[in-house]
Amino acid sequence: MESPKTSDPTNDQILAAVAAANPALIYFAVGAAHNPLQQYPPFMKDLAGPHVCIYMDPQMEPVPRVYEDLPATDGKAIVRRGDITYITVRRYFEWWANHETDRHFVLDLCRYTLASPSCRMIAQAFTGADIRHHYPLDFFGPALLDRVLFDFTYKDGGCFVDFSTVKLLLKDDGAFVQPHYQPLTTIQEPKILAYHVKSRCESVSTYIKRYYRILLGQEPERDWCTADVTRRHARPLQAIYGLPNGIDAPDLEKLLRLFLFDLCAASNSFMTDEEATTLIGRPERDYETSLMVLKELVAV
């Protein structure tokens, strides 16, 4: 028999429930309907509680499968079982910055996490969205990296996750390791290093280098390589190398140079500043070929 439906809690009610639970971990999952592993990933059993699990999905089952054996839920949206609080919201969630209500909700969760002495937060989308693009690093600064993780697969998003391959990366003090915001030379997990070498080379050659050439008038404008698209690809790398987030030609030239040096170091190669400047000024195909050679040299 289907449990009676109740109205979804408001964002303020969710935040109040989070504060009342005083969690050591907030897990915010979007699109986790009908999948108990997505609703409570196996690795969470090894993380200190209390936990708060927030689910947003319009297709969420009347009683989430992760706690379907919990008696007397009566379709309640907020349920506590032991040291785990489950909060179910049956609606769509939008990560995009122009959706102010949802954006502010994520910022409020991050703000609560940072204000707490020991709380951590994991956000995950099982909708195919790459939510790393919405990581509010510019808003909160580097302190966010230790306490808030977007996407525990450390990849570019997906609807399905093979949890047997998921390994949460933590420092000795329990802080999150964030490969997406680390130089290549400091990424220690071979598979994650291989992924970032490939994805960063693609971002740099396809968007950043091409837009740099467009700005210099060396290549025609492209409707898929705009300032906004380039900024989205450049910002994580600029954060890694401590660069301002501008996308004028001088800004992009600095980024292209530092990325070459990082890739060279990761592949046990060497490039002088003069050689880097020359390569950056060469046609796109020459630059891309050099990246491919260095990429193959990275020991993974």
Give residue-wise pLDDT tens across range 154-200. Answer: 887 677 888 888 899 999 999 999 999 999 999 988 888 988 999 99
Calpha distance 208→222 (Å, rounded): 12
Calpha distance 185→219 (Å, rounded): 32
Query: For the segment 110-139, what is each residue's pLDDT rounded down to a tens digit?
Result: 999 999 999 999 999 999 888 888 899 989
Half-sphere exposure of 220 (CA within 13 A, CB side): 2
**What's the pTM value of the predicted model, to 2 decimals?**
0.85
Calpha distance 247→293 (Å, rounded): 26
Average pLDDT estimate for 97-111? 88
Calpha distance 94→129 (Å, rounded): 10
Question: pLDDT confidence of 70, banded at 50, 70, 90?
Answer: low
Calpha distance 105→163 (Å, rounded): 27
Tell me the percentage of the chain whose pLDDT exceeds 70: 93
Calpha distance 7→10 (Å, rounded): 9
Nearest-CA neighbor of 126 among 99, 163, 179, 175?
163
Three-class SS of 229-266: HHHHHHHHHHHHCCCCCCCCHHHHHHHHHHHHHHHHHH
Between 3.40.50, 2.60.120, 2.40.10, 3.30.60, what CATH number should domain 11-180 receive?
3.40.50
Q: Quote the pLDDT of residue 76.
A: 80
Question: pLDDT confidence of 286, banded at 50, 70, 90?
Answer: confident
Dihedral class, residue 47 (left if φ above 0, else alpha if ψ from -120 to 50, else beta): beta
Angstrom CA distances, 252 to 128, 157, 198, 209, 234, stand at 29, 26, 19, 8, 8
Q: Quote the pLDDT of residue 97.
A: 60
What is the bridge-based pairing of β-strands 120-125 and 148-150?
parallel
Calpha distance 67→1 (Å, rounded): 16
Q: Quote the pLDDT of residue 85.
A: 94
Do the beta carbons of residue 90 and residue 57 sit within 8 Å? Answer: yes
Q: Is the pLDDT of residue 213 over 70?
A: yes
Q: Is the pLDDT of residue 251 over 70?
A: yes
Calpha distance 152→179 (Å, rounded): 11
Do the beta carbons of residue 96 and residue 103 sit within 8 Å? Answer: yes
Do the beta carbons of residue 263 and residue 197 sit within 8 Å? Answer: yes
